[in-house]
């Protein structure tokens, strides 16, 4: 995430052939842009989950839910509300 997009594209397009991988220009562009976007989106969504107050985690645990059910039913819907604007802002 801390590297410029152009540098990532150069490394994929020129660096992979030096290592012996044959890659088309469009494939290099798609891979580079995918890696760049996924790093930012993962950071947005991770911070959204961490922004949910600890009391909400405790409340979900007190209901006797398993960890995945806690996430699916309680934490992720709240995190989605928090991360909706930054996600749209990044994609726009």
Query: Each residue of 1-28: pLDDT tens digit?
Result: 678 999 999 999 999 999 999 999 999 9
- C-alpha to C-alpha distance for 83 and 89, rounded to whole angstroms: 10
- Report the distance separating Cα 88 and Cα 48, nearest Å: 14
> Above 90 in pLDDT, residue 91?
no
In the chain, the percentage of residues whose pLDDT exceeds 90 is: 87
Domain boundaries, the chain: 5-91
Percent with pLDDT over 70 in the chain = 99
Q: Write the DSSP assignment of 15-62 as a string of letters.
A: IHHHTT----HHHHHHHHHHHHHHHHHHHHHHHHHHHS-HHHHHHHHH
pLDDT of 79 reads 96
Class of domain 5-91: mainly alpha
Entry pTM: 0.78
* Digit-coded pLDDT (tens) for 45-59: 999 999 999 999 999
């Amino acid at each position: 995430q801390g590297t410029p997009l152009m540098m990532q594209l150069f490394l994929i397009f020129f660096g992979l052939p030096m290592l012996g991988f044959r890659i088309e220009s469009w494939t290099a562009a798609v891979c580079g842009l995918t890696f760049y976007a996924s790093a930012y989106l993962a950071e947005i969504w991770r911070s959204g989950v961490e922004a949910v107050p600890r009391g909400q985690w405790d409340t979900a645990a007190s209901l006797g839910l398993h960890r995945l059910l806690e996430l699916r039913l309680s934490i992720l819907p709240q995190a989605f509300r928090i991360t909706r604007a930054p996600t749209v802002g990044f994609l726009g």
